[in-house]
Amino acid sequence: MDDSQRAFLDELLTTPSPSGFETRGQRVWVDYVSQFADRVETGPYGNAVAVHEGDSAVDTEFAVGGHADEIGFIVRDILDDGFLRISRVGGSDRTVSKGQHVTVHADDGPVQGVIGQTAIHLRQGDEEYEDISEQFVDVGAEDDDDAEELVSIGDPVTFSSEVEELANGRIAARGVDNRAGTWIAAEALRRAAEAGADATVYAVSTVQEEVGLNGARMVGFDVDPDAYVAVDVTHATDNPDVAGSARGPVELGEGPVVGRGSTNHPNLVELARESGDDEDVDYQLQAAGSRTGTDADGVFTQKGGVPSLNVGIPNRYMHTPVEVVDVADLDAVADLCAAMAERAGEHAPFEVRI
């Protein structure tokens, strides 16, 4: 990853993009891919698609996508005393929210606040974590009139954490799920284009994955590729407090995670494994017995069936403000997806033969 690619990653990770409010993050993504894509298109709700045209004689269309939205909160009510009640946007975790700095993204600009946590001295024993709906944001307002000068009902809220460098090429940030995936989609397109891929290659950045795979359903219908690779984070279970029953084979720094089962099309699994072996990209395998929980589940049933595959990025502490990934894994996933795009024409059509 060179300096410009890393700067792009950092800008994605620090640009607020909660579900339903992805415009700023999508603008960052579109500006980047416009430097090398043959064309870029956007949809009514903010989906973005960049295209490498390929060889007109090759009738294969291959898509690599990630989702642009992050989890967060939304202002549900403004209380008489100026505190804000909030609701979830996506799968926000009530056990990590209290005592955190947050930013309310108001129409007139960002408003800083904190999610209140009563001091340990004043709490009664080991109180359970309240639901998000019972937690509150303190923006320093004296009363409701004061607060209403700053924020409005329906304003989105995100954690205020930034990108932090850890040892051994690892980073911690909020929203790695899944701006890391949109970074990979962009980079896979760039790398496939530079390699002269014959297939038409799409890089896709979808909206509203965290609230129902909504953008993926739109893209799967509109783009209609021959194959779709959904890149998203997956659980690295190599930290000490993961229960034995939840432990799996996925480790940070060990490369892309190729899903097998359910949504994951066997011919695309074969293409991923062949591409990894040919390009010396180490990869890991992960079972998906029922569903992947990613945009692949939203795409694969469109228009009678779009062969789809989930490729995962190992990620610790998902849906917290301190998600941790290995930068080398991001490069490896981008390399794998680009290699798959280069070979797509040789493997198409992807239908199961019976």
Phi, then psi, of 337 in degrees rounded to 5: -65, -40
Beta strands 39-42; 170-173: pairing state: unpaired
Q: Annotated binding residue at 232?
A: yes
At 261, list the tokens: 């089962």
Q: Annotated binding residue at 67?
A: yes
Q: How far apart are CA 101 and CA 10, in angstroms?
A: 19
142 is catalytic: no
State how far the alpha carbon of 33 is from the alpha carbons of 160, 194, 226, 269, in Å: 26, 13, 22, 27
Catalytic one among 61, 209, 323, 342? 209
Q: Annotated binding residue at 177?
A: yes
Residue numbering of the annotated binding site for Zn(2+): 67, 177, 210, 232, 319
Residues annotated as catalytic are 209
Residue numbering of the annotated binding site: 67, 177, 210, 232, 319
